[in-house]
């Protein structure tokens, strides 16, 4: 990639990043609330991927109107970005949970609260989630209209030698054994289940598969989603030699412009409304360039590659489009090489033509970054730049010649 191309790419990336910072203070997402009269009102909620359950929300009937704050006492429920919250009066255990705060106290410290519970699993068997202001996690099941706290407590205990140890009361395992008892295979899963969101969600998903019951809508925020699609575009590859004869290191190897295409498989991580994902690609990539040294030595080098690329991607969500940044690594295996060199007759030089290298290294390893747009969740425009890691090619006398190939690409894609 030429310097001007790289500079333009950098400017585009910085511009996109500054735009995201300028709009970070408010993030209105399509949402609805359920009033105490059981009416559903569509609108927008200022959502910030809460790490603790909100005590109030700011609701907008339209983006132009002023917000209205609602607490669990004001509405029955709301949904935003795939997350469904219900107002509920619950009993929580207010005991310390951090190791440095634990006491030799076995009993649970029950406290009643009215809160917004986050629904993790919605169906005949429900799972709810609450993180309080101290960042302590609480899980609940529901029988009829009653929410039952799944009990878990860490506390200190003196062992037989008089040493203080941390002990756990895992009463929740017994509660879940009864609650999910119509799945016979659940016992093995419960034996090692931890009081953590990911493990609890996976347990309930296993239960629904085992019991052949159906999940209801509204659970998509905490379940992984996979995306597939195709990519195609143009690449611009540069080749530079770092040592060896002048006809390698001082030759002019112009950038190679080539077609590239492939498929991608995107693993979207739960929550964050699809912002964070791991993107995996299988791409065809190639380059071919002819180096010219003083019009007397010409070197043709090229390879076709099957590339596997894995990148971490972070999206910035907007109403009509998303944009993203990504970084990761690429590994390629080359085939169908071009490996040719021609010396023209000149003073002190005889004419010759043949292989440029005895062995042309076909493996490629690189580190890359990119930025792009996703329009209507289907159409993708993306640019990226990949820095190749230095490799060695070998002359007939086994002399190693170091080389680096970097490439930039402009891609368009379609997500199924």
β-bridge partners, 388: 366
* Lookup: tokens for 372: 């792009």
Task: List, in order, residues 6 or more apart from 76 with CB less than 8 Å away.
Answer: 34, 35, 36, 38, 86, 87
CA distance linking residue 198 with residue 219, whole number of Å: 13
Q: What class, spelled out in words, does domain 225-415 have in CATH?
A: mainly beta
pTM (predicted TM-score)? 0.65
Residue 385 contacts residue 9 (beta carbons within 8 Å): yes
* Tens place of pLDDT per residue across the chain (416 aa): 455 554 555 555 555 554 444 444 678 889 999 999 999 999 999 988 888 999 999 999 998 899 999 999 999 999 998 889 999 999 999 999 999 999 999 999 999 999 999 999 999 999 999 999 999 999 999 998 899 999 999 999 988 788 899 999 999 999 999 999 999 889 999 988 999 998 999 999 999 999 999 888 655 666 667 899 999 999 999 999 999 999 999 999 999 999 999 999 999 887 666 788 999 999 999 999 999 999 999 999 999 999 999 999 999 877 678 999 999 999 999 999 999 999 998 888 889 999 999 999 999 999 999 999 999 889 999 999 999 999 999 998 889 999 999 999 999 999 99
Q: What angle do CA 358, 360, 362 make, to 5 degrees?
A: 150
User: Could you tell me the residue ranges of all domains in the chain?
Assistant: 82-211, 225-415
Q: Is 47 exposed, middle or buried (0-12, 13-18, 19+ CB in 10 A)?
A: buried
């Amino acid at each position: 990639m030429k310097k001007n191309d790289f500079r333009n790419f950098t400017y585009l990336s910085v511009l996109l990043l500054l735009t995201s910072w300028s709009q970070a203070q408010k993030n209105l997402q399509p949402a609805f609330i359920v009033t105490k009269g059981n009416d559903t009102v569509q609108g927008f909620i200022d959502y910030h991927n809460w790490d603790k359950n909100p005590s109030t929300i700011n609701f907008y009937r339209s983006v132009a109107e002023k917000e209205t704050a609602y607490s669990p006492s004001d509405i029955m429920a709301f949904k935003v970005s795939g997350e469904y919250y219900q107002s509920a009066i619950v009993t929580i255990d207010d005991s310390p949970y951090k190791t440095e705060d634990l006491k030799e106290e076995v009993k649970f410290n029950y406290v009643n609260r009215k809160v917004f519970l986050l629904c993790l699993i919605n169906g005949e068997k429900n799972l709810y989630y609450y993180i309080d202001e101290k960042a302590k996690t609480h899980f609940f099941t529901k029988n009829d209209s009653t929410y039952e706290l799944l009990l878990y407590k860490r506390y200190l205990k003196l062992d037989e030698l008089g040493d203080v140890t941390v002990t756990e009361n895992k009463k929740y395992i017994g509660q879940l054994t009864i609650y999910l008892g119509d799945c016979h295979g659940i016992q093995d899963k419960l034996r090692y289940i931890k009081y953590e969101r990911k493990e609890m969600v996976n347990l309930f998903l296993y239960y629904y598969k085992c019991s052949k019951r159906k999940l209801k809508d509204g659970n998509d925020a905490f379940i992984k989603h996979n995306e597939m699609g195709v990519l195609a575009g143009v690449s611009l590859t540069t080749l530079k030699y770092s040592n060896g004869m002048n006809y390698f290191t001082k030759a002019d190897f112009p950038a190679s412009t080539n077609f590239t295409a492939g498929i991608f498989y995107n693993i979207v991580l739960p929550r964050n409304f699809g912002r964070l994902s791991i993107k995996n690609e299988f791409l065809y990539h190639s380059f071919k360039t002819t180096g010219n040294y003083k019009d007397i030595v010409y070197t043709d080098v090229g390879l076709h590659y099957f590339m596997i690329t894995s990148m971490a991607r972070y999206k910035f969500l907007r109403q009509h489009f998303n944009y993203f940044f990504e970084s990761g690594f690429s590994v390629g295996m080359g085939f169908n090489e071009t490996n040719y060199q021609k010396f023209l007759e000149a003073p002190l030089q005889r004419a010759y033509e043949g292989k440029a290298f005895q062995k042309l290294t076909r493996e490629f390893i690189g580190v890359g970054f990119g930025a792009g747009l996703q329009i209507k969740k289907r159409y993708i425009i993306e640019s990226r730049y990949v820095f190749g890691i230095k490799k060695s090619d070998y002359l007939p006398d086994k002399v190693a010649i170091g080389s680096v190939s970097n490439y930039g690409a402009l891609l368009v894609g379609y997500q199924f």
